[in-house]
């Protein structure tokens, strides 16, 4: 399983709870789309996750920016992902990033709003924020392998309620 989180905005710990904490512990890979804020928070996530892939966000301190890139590409079950915290120009720029990197999925954060947008070339996924939802649902995203190059995705609240499901298929 791939668990995707973002926008922790903490100064001392990971602020994980409920289903989100379980999903981080159970995941093969945890992807964090930025705004940990302090290095101690990044370290706390690294202790919880089997494998953590992160990017630096606009609120991350210099220590995090030294340790993490602003954009990261990875593969999970044959599906190509690119992850960034945000891009000026919103979904248009995120879609362009996906196309430039031949990605099936673009993971992003910043707005704290859980979102899935299917475009012609890739799917944009914002997991929201598990810790500081700012008027939205406290949430994260999970991807389960259905078959090679095919993933079932869902947006899930911290309480474990699935409120959006989707499928990702890699054509590359």
Query: What pLDDT is stored for residue 41 in this prediction?
Result: 97
Phi, psi angles (nearest 5°) of residue 28? -70, -40
Fold of domain 2-169: Purple Acid Phosphatase; chain A, domain 2 (3.60.21)
How high is the pLDDT of residue 155?
98
Q: Which pLDDT does position 89 carry in this prediction?
A: 83
pLDDT at 172 over 70: no
Q: Is the pLDDT of residue 171 over 90?
A: no
Rounded Cα distance, 84 and 72, in Å: 7
C-alpha separations of 129 from 27, 50, 51, 114 in Å: 18, 20, 20, 8
Give the burial string for 108-141 (b: 16+ CB within 10 Å, else e). bbbbbbbbbeeeeebbbbbbbbbbebeeebbbbb
User: 3-state class of 40 per DSSP?
Assistant: helix
Q: What are phi and psi of 59, to 5 degrees?
A: -105, 5
Render pLDDT for 38-81 as a digit per residue (tens, 0 to 9). Answer: 999 999 999 999 999 999 999 999 999 999 999 999 999 999 99
The pLDDT tens digits of the residues spanning 119-170 come to: 888 999 999 999 999 999 999 999 999 998 999 999 999 999 999 999 999 8
Going by C-alpha positions, the residue among 34, 29, 10, 24 that lies closest to residue 126 is 34
Average pLDDT over residues 18-39: 98
Q: Where are the domains of the chain?
A: 2-169
Biggest CA-to-CA distance, the chain: 41
pTM over 0.95: yes
pLDDT, position 158: 97
């Amino acid at each position: 399983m791939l668990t995707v989180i973002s926008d922790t905005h903490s100064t001392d710990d990971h602020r994980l709870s409920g289903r989100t904490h379980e999903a981080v512990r159970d995941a093969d890979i945890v992807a964090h789309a930025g705004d940990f804020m302090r290095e101690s928070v990044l370290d706390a996530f690294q202790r919880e996750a089997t494998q953590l892939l992160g990017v630096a966000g606009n609120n991350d301190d210099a220590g995090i920016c030294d340790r993490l890139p602003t954009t990261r590409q990875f593969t999970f079950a044959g599906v190509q992902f690119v992850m960034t915290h945000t891009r000026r120009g919103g979904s248009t720029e995120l879609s362009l990033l996906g196309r430039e990197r031949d990605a099936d999925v673009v993971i992003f954060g910043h707005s704290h709003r859980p979102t899935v947008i299917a475009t012609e070339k890739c799917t944009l996924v914002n997991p929201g924020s598990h810790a500081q939802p700012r008027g939205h649902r406290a949430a994260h995203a999970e991807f389960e392998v259905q078959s090679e190059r095919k993933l079932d995705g869902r947006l899930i609240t911290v309480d474990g309620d699935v409120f959006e499901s989707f499928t990702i298929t890699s054509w590359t």
